[in-house]
Amino acid sequence: MNLMNAHLPEDLIWEILLWLPGRLLLLLRTVCRSWNSFISSHEFVMHHHQRSTQPRLVYCSLESEGMDIMQCSVSSLLYNQLQPTRIDPLQIKYKSIQGSCNGLLCLCEGLPYKNLTLFNPCTRWVSLIVPFKYPHGDDRHPVFCGLGYDALRNKYKFVTCSKISGGLGSRAIVCTLEANPSWKTVDHPMFPYFTWCHSGTFVSGTLNWIAHDPSKNHDPFRVLEYFILTFELITESFGRLRLPKNNHTHLGFFGRLRNHTHRGFHEDVPSLHVLKNFLSVCFHPAYDNTAAYTIWIMKEYGVEKSWTIVLRIPFNGRIITPGNWLEPLYMSEDYILLAYGEFYRGKLLVYNFRKREVVHPMIDISSDSLSIYPLSKFSYGKFFHVYHESLVSYFP
Q: What is the pLDDT along the chain (396 residues), one digit of tens a residue?
A: 455 555 667 778 777 888 888 888 888 888 778 778 878 888 888 888 877 778 999 988 766 555 678 899 999 999 987 889 999 888 777 677 888 899 999 888 776 677 888 999 888 888 878 887 665 555 555 678 899 999 999 899 998 876 655 544 567 889 898 888 888 888 776 666 767 667 889 999 999 999 887 666 555 555 577 899 999 999 999 999 999 986 543 323 222 223 333 333 334 678 899 999 999 998 876 555 566 788 999 999 999 999 999 988 776 655 565 556 778 999 998 889 999 876 555 678 898 888 878 888 898 888 887 767 788 887 777 888 999 888 887 665
Three-state secondary structure along the chain? CCHHHCCCCHHHHHHHHHCCCHHHHHHHCCCCHHHHHHHHCHHHHHHHHHHCCCEEEEEEECCCCCCEEEEEEHHHHHHCCCCCECCEEEEEECCEEEEEECCEEEEEECCCCCEEEEEECCCCEECCCEECCCHHHCCCCEEEEEEEEECCCCEEEEEEEEECCCCCCEEEEEEEECCCCEEEEECCCCCCCEECCCECEEECCEEEEEEECHHHCCCCCCCECCEEEEEECCCCEEEEEECCCCCCCEECHHHCEECCCECCCHHHCCEEEEECCEEEEEECCCCCCCCEEEEEEECCCCCHHHEEEEEEEECCCCCCCCCCCEEEEEECCCCEEEEEECCHHHCCEEEECCCCEEECCCECHHHCCCCCCCCCCCCCCEEEEEEECCCCCCCC
* Whether the Cβ atoms of residue 246 and residue 258 lie closer than 8 Å to each other: no
pLDDT at 133: 66
**How many other CB atoms sit within 10 Å of the CB of residue 131?**
9
Residue 220, Cβ density class (10 Å: 0-12 exposed, 13-18 middle, ≥19 buried): exposed
pLDDT at 190: 65
Its pTM stands at 0.84
Sheet holding 278-283, edge to edge: 271-275, 278-283, 292-298, 307-314
- From the centroid of its chain, how far is CA 301? 16
pLDDT at 31: 78
pLDDT at 254: 27
Domains and CATH numbers, the chain: 41-388 (2.120.10.30)
